[in-house]
Amino acid sequence: MSNLEIQIGGMKWKNPVTVASGTFGYEYDELFDLSQLGALVTKTITLNPKKGNEPCRLAETRAGLLNSIGLQNPGVEEFITEKLIKYDKYKTNLVVSISGSTIDEFCQIADKLNPYDNIDAYEINISCPNVEKEGLAFGVEAEVVRELIAKLRATTDKDIIVKLTPNVTKIEEIARAAAESGADIISLINTVLGLAVDIETKASRIKNGIAGYSGPAIKPIALQNVFRVAQAVDIPIIGMGGICNTEDALEFLMVGASAVAMGTANFSNPLITLDIIKGLEMYLGKNNTNLREIIGSFKLQ
Amino acid sequence: MQFKILPIKENRKLNSRYFVLKVPDKSISAQSQPGQFCEIKDLESDEPLLPRPFSIYKVEENTISFLIKIVGETTRNLSQKKTAEMISILGPLGNGFKIPKNKSVLLISGGIGYAPFPFLKNKLQKNGNEIQWLHGGKDKYDIFSYDITNYTEDGSIGKKGLVTDDMPFILGKNDIHTVFACGPNQMLKKVSEICEFYKVELQVSMETIMACGMGVCCGCIIKYAENGEVIYKKACKDGPVFDGRKVVWDE
Ligand SMILES: Cc1cc2nc3c(=O)[nH]c(=O)nc-3n(C[C@H](O)[C@H](O)[C@H](O)COP(=O)(O)OP(=O)(O)OC[C@H]3O[C@@H](n4cnc5c(N)ncnc54)[C@H](O)[C@@H]3O)c2cc1C
Ligand SMILES: Cc1cc2nc3c(=O)[nH]c(=O)nc-3n(C[C@H](O)[C@H](O)[C@H](O)COP(=O)(O)O)c2cc1C
Ligand code: FES
């Protein structure tokens, strides 16, 4: 059996496979033992409860899915009392995704979650394109990212994962700002801005208008972003965006990701993460190689 | 809830609009309640990406079946599936209908809204309920059974008119405990207004676009009025069956 174990930030993962925030939860427990994953990532939590956007929130287009959920979540207090405990039984790393509308809000959430030892890392969602003020402003300006991550760094010893949006001009600058201000890991990409038009009503098929695009259609965009970020920073990367099978996962590892996450693919096949863990194991065995040799092995020329 | 890859046992075309897909199964059906649904994906093609929700139509010995209307890509692909071709099924999902005991109940279905009712009727009968069932469609191709009261808009079969036309009369004259309804939103809205007027309990099965089907993604929201406030419910987990008098019906 090939060894899939990785060291990523301060965490040890039994394999480099995890899930994308907002697409997975303990509900999948009925289908398989979630302890088999390298890590679990929660849906993004905010300080106060959020009702989310008006429906309709989903639209499928060729090879992709548009969503505008609007960060619907019960808020950090209810997350702690109702949800956190449900993750306790899984023998794997727990990453809690957080977002806020001010730097202070991010820090307040971290303060509330810091006492819980079963949380191994925070994923800082500075990239969610769905909510007007939240996220978007943070993820597109390097200086804001620098200040945010520095402040969060001062509040916590847990690993800090900064999740980047592809909807920027120079993703390297944002990645560098995150790494230099104390982030342990970078994850990317969040959804790509997108739109689908209902030609009968001449309106967006998503009630909120412009939405976030995910799924196989965004994989090439994600790959080139992961590649560029891997060239720019030395901290490890969790790659995601359209991964549907083992070959997709290998592409991300080759361009420099140390681990991979599946989002939209969970909806098509809820066991996709397990399939990819098995697939990676087989690939490494068959080619008599290891993860270290694979990660970053891609050369542009 | 289970995720299974199963071969088609039978694909029976009813007419140009509808077909019945039957797969061998014991375990999903053993857990199923009327009103619950499954997410089905055609494994032969990558597109569409997402599986689609379909109500459990019939649970028979060692099989589970779905009554499907051809409206788009998935349903067209599924209509052409041959015996032994594979599909994936995730289910049972959702809450299902609440079943009263020894009451008079009225079933109202419109078009493909017929799908969850044979299974429901079975369970209602087992619980000693007395059942009246009205079904409506555009024309004769929307009619599935002659054992119930049918309405068609063009009058090609049954009474000419809408399925809701005689509802006020029936609710006014009989002691109906619960109305069960499934069909297009305009029909459900009308049914809810009539039930509100006669103060009769109403359980409706709602349709929305879904992704995960199990309460994770928050994509499938239904607007619901509770304590004077509009709240969001997940159709896949809190529903698809809702108190029809509390659903907020958009234009
Ligand atoms: C709980 C539930 C139970 C259902 N039960 C049945 C059933 O028993 N039999 C059956 O034939 N259909 C049922 N449906 C509807 C079925 O899911 C849709 O017809 C199907 O998703 C269409 O897929 P498609 O790829 O063929 O069409 P698409 O190409 O995806 O869509 C074609 C058209 O249908 C609309 N549409 C797509 N999905 C839905 C949806 N979920 N609800 C309403 N409109 C939609 C689209 O906006 C578009 O106009 C149910 C839906 C839900 C939510
Ligand atoms: C329905 C849905 C909800 C999402 N919710 C979140 C979220 O709450 N926080 C977040 O950081 N990303 C969220 N995302 C983005 C995913 O985590 C991921 O970055 C993106 O979908 C790309 O990966 P994929 O193509 O594998 O889905 C969501 C995506 C989808 C499809
Ligand atoms: S379809 Fe994902 S929450 Fe209902």
Q: Is residue A144 part of a domain?
A: yes
B129 shares its domain with B161: yes
pLDDT of residue A2: 67
Whose structure tokens read 């009451």? B103
Which residues make Cβ contacts (< 8 Å) with residue B126, sequence separation at least 6? none
Residue A204 clears pLDDT 90, i.e. is over it: yes
- The answer to whether the CB of A110 falls within 8 A of the CB of A160 is no
B192 shares its domain with B168: yes
Report the distance separating Cα A229 and Cα A168, nearest Å.
13
Structure tokens at B89: 């099924």
> Which residue in the set A57, A65, A271 is minimally distant from B49, CB to CB?
A65
Residue A130 clears pLDDT 50, i.e. is over it: no
Number of domains observed in the structure of chain A: 1
Among the three residues B41, B67, B93, which one is the final residue of a domain in this structure? B93
DSSP A277: H
Cβ density class B66-100: b for 16+ within 10 Å, e for less: bbbbbeeebbebbbebeeeeebbbbbbbbbbbebb
Please tell me the number of the ligand nearest to residue B236's CA. 3
pLDDT of residue B250: 79
Q: Is residue B218 part of a domain?
A: yes
- In three-state secondary structure terms, A266 is helix
Q: Is residue A199 part of a domain?
A: no
- Tell me which of B20, B52, B141 to substitute to probe ligand 1's pocket, judged by most ligand atoms within 8 Å of the beta carbon: B52
Among the three residues B42, B61, B93, which one is the final residue of a domain in this structure? B93
What does the pLDDT look like over B32-80, one tens digit per residue? 999 999 999 999 888 999 999 999 999 998 999 999 999 999 999 999 9
Q: Pairing between strand B201-205 and B241-243?
A: antiparallel
Ligand 2, atom 5: closest residue by C-alpha: A22
pLDDT of residue A1: 55
Q: Is residue A141 part of a domain?
A: yes
Number of domains observed in the structure of chain B: 2
Quote the domain boundaries for residue B129: 104-243
B76 shares its domain with B113: no
Confidence of residue A27 (pLDDT cuts 50, 70, 90): very high
- A-B contacts at Cβ under 8 angstroms: 87
Look up the CATH number of the domain holding residue A112.
3.20.20.70
What does the pLDDT look like over A242-289, one tens digit per residue? 999 999 999 999 999 999 999 999 999 999 999 999 999 999 999 999
Confidence of residue A167 (pLDDT cuts 50, 70, 90): very high
B76 shares its domain with B124: no
Catalogue the E-assigned strands of chain A.
6-8, 11-13, 17-19, 39-41, 58-61, 64-67, 93-98, 121-125, 159-163, 185-188, 192-194, 197-198, 203-204, 211-214, 237-240, 259-262
Task: Report the pLDDT averaged over residues A14-25.
Answer: 98
pLDDT of residue B45: 87
B118 shares its domain with B227: yes
Q: Is residue A58 part of a domain?
A: no
B87 shares its domain with B108: no
Confidence of residue A299 (pLDDT cuts 50, 70, 90): very high
Quote the domain boundaries for residue A270: 6-53+70-192+215-294
Task: Report the pLDDT averaged over residues A120-130.
Answer: 80
Confidence of residue A137 (pLDDT cuts 50, 70, 90): low
Burial class (CB in 10 A: 0-12, 13-18, 19+), A91: exposed
Task: Report the pLDDT averaged over residues A205-221.
Answer: 96
B69 shares its domain with B167: no
Instruction: Tell me which chain A residue has its CA closest to the CA of residue B2.
Output: A31
Ligand 3 lined by B215 (C-beta under 6 Å): yes
Residue A127 clears pLDDT 80, i.e. is over it: no
B116 shares its domain with B87: no
DSSP B61: T
Please tell me the number of the ligand nearest to residue B51's CA. 1
Q: Pairing between strand B86-93 and B2-7?
A: antiparallel
Ligand 1, atom 13: closest residue by C-alpha: B54
B56 shares its domain with B169: no
Between chains, do A51 and B232 touch, taking CB under 8 Å as contact?
yes
Paired with B243 in beta bridges are B203
* Segments of chain B with pLDDT less than 50: none
Look up the CATH number of the domain holding residue B195.
3.40.50.80
B134 shares its domain with B220: yes
pLDDT of residue B251: 62
B117 shares its domain with B174: yes
B56 shares its domain with B76: yes
pLDDT of residue A295: 97
Q: Which tops the pLDDT comparison, A16 or B45?
A: A16
Q: Is residue A60 part of a domain?
A: no
Residues of A serving a catalytic function are: 128
Q: Is residue A184 part of a domain?
A: yes
Report the distance separating Cα A148 and Cα A125, nearest Å.
11
Among the three residues B63, B93, B123, which one is the final residue of a domain in this structure? B93
